[in-house]
Structure 1
Amino acid sequence: MTNIEVTLVNSFTENGKGGNPAGVVLNADQLSDAQKLKIAQAVGYSETAFVSSDDEVDYEVSFFTTTGEVDFCGHATLATFSTMYKKGLIAAGSYIQRTKAGILPVSIEPDGKVVMDQQLPQKLDSFSYQEISNVIGIESHILASTKLPIEVVSTGLPDVIIPVPNGYLDVIVPDDELIAGFCKKHKVVGFHVFELCDPESELTASCRNFAPLFGISEESATGSSSGALACYLTEHLTLGSDYVFEQGRAMNCTSIITASVKSDNSTVINVKVGGFASNIDTVAISV
């Protein structure tokens, strides 16, 4: 048995509060996938990141939920690079990580903010208001009143982007079984539901994320979905190219996620998501 040190980190915090917890394991080169899964299950968070060396780029990072490996995780990426920065292993600057979602740049600003590039958006599917109404329990005519489509967008992981009118976000009571069944059938990770904020607000939108198929009933900050939402908003609305999202309010764990999208002739050429992280603790897990 070997003791593996896991750093526990809250990602996308606001002034050190809120955020979404992730585990970070450094020097994970010798760990098998089975050991990584065991560690992720012992940590019990939605994702744990494992950092290994790489011959071509700065780091290879893999991500495990309590049920298995996923291609990418935004908040665990933030946790990873924030941890290495705070431990003095890396300085502010630009780095490249290899993930199963591709080779992705990450930068660390001098104040500790981590900004990660995501994959360029892929629009994979769309659903009628009625199809989604049956799953999230909001009547289809209410969903239709947003005049915005329901689409599957991926900047690393495919999520169903679902707009709801102001005032409806917090009243959703997710049915894990229904959502998981829908996601399994349509090969998506989860539902990213949002309501737009008032134009005077510093926030662009408030969000909730449900991914029960991967053991996550609700998540308080989702980096990959925030990149997808930013691309969706860039296509369908004229809100500029920089976004600030609030997530986790319904969980009493408010998180702040920034996103930016660069376009050229209506084609997205760059997607970035960023935020701050705060260390929680360090634990040792035997494998």
Structure 2
Amino acid sequence: MANSAPRARRTERSTVQRWAAFSSDPAGGNPAGVVLHADGMTEDEMLHVAAEVGFSETAFVTRGDQDGLSIRYFSPLAEVPFCGHASVATAAALAEVRGAGGYFFATPVGQVEIAVADADGGRIVRFTSVDPFVEGLPADTRTRILSVLHLDPADLDPAYAPALAYAGNRHPLLVVRSRAALDRMAFDPAAARALMDAEGWPATIIVAWPEAPDRWHVRNVFPVGKISEDPATGAGAAALGGYLRETRAVTPPQRIRIFQGSHVGRPSELTVDIPATGGIVVSGSAVRLPDPATPA
């Protein structure tokens, strides 16, 4: 173990790419680290690199069976089963080397299909989630979430029942009745982290508001390291799409747009296509971020 940290530091400085997913502007979107050649790295080394990078997730790609690709995701604190924005970032990074086209990632939650297309000098990346499902959210759990987020039961939209929505991760999902409630939401990161750890939620708490049936504004609580709120959450977008289908709030096929990140100064846009069956399709732009200066 004595040599793992120096090796991780060398890996981080030499091979980590930095991308922003779900924006064509480097000042927007959700930043992710990408290590395209992670073969031989231990879990401890991956976690160390993710902590040094400091983004909500860093993706690590290794060679899988039959020339396929395996991918793992680490926040600065722990491994995450699936991360949509880091998948988008990784596919964009691969496309710089291999060109636009299709990829299959073997993730801890199953195979995820990714497609990269060139568009207006940039790239659009689309992933298809694993099959989503929805579970009920116990009333006492809902009460604890509302307390942590400083929201009242009257803030909830009665047309959308609170739920646990899954499309790779279990996300508690609340829909509020107004933009004012969404904007007013506030939380102590330590209290939110304690609740999420106690409930075993590896990813974000989703709070959403429908401006229109096909236009949603979303905030995703995700306290990890220096981060408290996710600017763009691909897995959460897929979970919301699955929830809308399962609860018959939409009639598939349906496309919705999700706007996220304005509350943390990194505006993002995610397009969600909801088919009648199968995985939810989430797409958006990706842009490479400049590498940090190497210390002298």
Instruction: Please give the alpha-carbon distance, in whole angstroms, between the structure 2 residues aligned to 1:195 and 1:121.
Output: 20
Instruction: Please give the alpha-carbon distance, in whole angstroms, between the structure 1 residues aligned to 2:262 and 2:143.
Output: 26
Deviation at 1:72, TM superposition (A): 1.0
Instruction: Please give the alpha-carbon distance, in whole angstroms, between the structure 1 residues aligned to 2:29 and 2:215.
Output: 18
Report matched runs for 1:96-245 at 5 Å: 96-111=104-119, 112-128=123-139, 130-143=143-156, 145-167=157-179, 168-189=181-202, 190-198=204-212, 204-212=215-223, 216-236=227-247, 237-238=249-250, 241-245=254-258
Give secondary structure in 2 for the equivalent of 1:228.
Answer: helix
Q: Which of 47, 52, 55 in structure 2 is aligned with 1:42?
A: 52
Which of the two has greater strand per residue?
1
Is 2:114 aligned against 1:72?
Answer: no
Deviation at 1:214, TM superposition (A): 7.6
Unaligned 5+ residue runs, structure 1?
A: none
Tell me if the contact between 2:126 and 2:284 (Cα under 8 Å) persists in the aligned partners.
yes
Letter in 1 for 2:283: G
Deviation at 1:219, TM superposition (A): 0.6
After superposition, what is the alpha-carbon deviation per residue over 1:65-109, rounded to whole angstroms, capped at 9, x for unaligned?
1112111111001011101112xx222222111110111111112
Instruction: Please give the alpha-carbon distance, in whole angstroms, between the structure 2 residues aligned to 1:231 and 1:50.
Output: 27
Deviation at 1:279, TM superposition (A): 0.7
Give secondary structure in 2 for the equivalent of 1:84.
Answer: helix
Deviation at 1:31, TM superposition (A): 1.2
Instruction: Please give the alpha-carbon distance, in whole angstroms, between the structure 2 residues aligned to 1:104 and 1:195.
Output: 28
Which of the two has greater helix per residue?
2
Aligned-pair identity in percent equals: 26
Is 2:73 aligned against 1:63?
Answer: yes
Tell me if the contact between 1:57 and 1:96 (Cα under 8 Å) persists in the aligned partners.
no
Q: 1:73 to 1:9 in 2, by over 3 A?
A: same
The number of aligned residues is 276
Instruction: Please give the alpha-carbon distance, in whole angstroms, between the structure 2 residues aligned to 1:239 and 1:14.
Output: 30
Deviation at 1:49, TM superposition (A): 0.7
Tell which deviates more after alignment, 145-154 or 124-133.
Answer: 124-133
Q: 1:285 to 1:157 in 2, by over 3 A?
A: farther
TM-score normalised by structure 1 residue count:
0.88
Give secondary structure in 1 for the equivalent of 2:185.
Answer: coil
Deviation at 1:270, TM superposition (A): 2.6
Give secondary structure in 1 for the equivalent of 2:212.
Answer: coil
Unaligned 5+ residue runs, structure 2?
A: 1-5
Deviation at 1:8, TM superposition (A): 0.9
Instruction: Please give the alpha-carbon distance, in whole angstroms, between the structure 1 residues aligned to 2:51 and 2:284.
Output: 26
Deviation at 1:239, TM superposition (A): 6.1
TM-score normalised by structure 2 residue count:
0.86
Give secondary structure in 2 for the equivalent of 1:184.
Answer: helix
Is 2:286 aligned against 1:277?
Answer: yes
Give secondary structure in 1 for the equivalent of 2:195.
Answer: helix
Tell me if the contact between 2:155 and 2:178 (Cα under 8 Å) persists in the aligned partners.
no
Deviation at 1:215, TM superposition (A): 6.8
Cα RMSD (Å): 2.2
Instruction: Please give the alpha-carbon distance, in whole angstroms, between the structure 2 residues aligned to 1:239 and 1:215.
Output: 39
Bigger relative contact order (CA 8 A; separation at least 6): 1
Is 2:16 aligned against 1:6?
Answer: yes
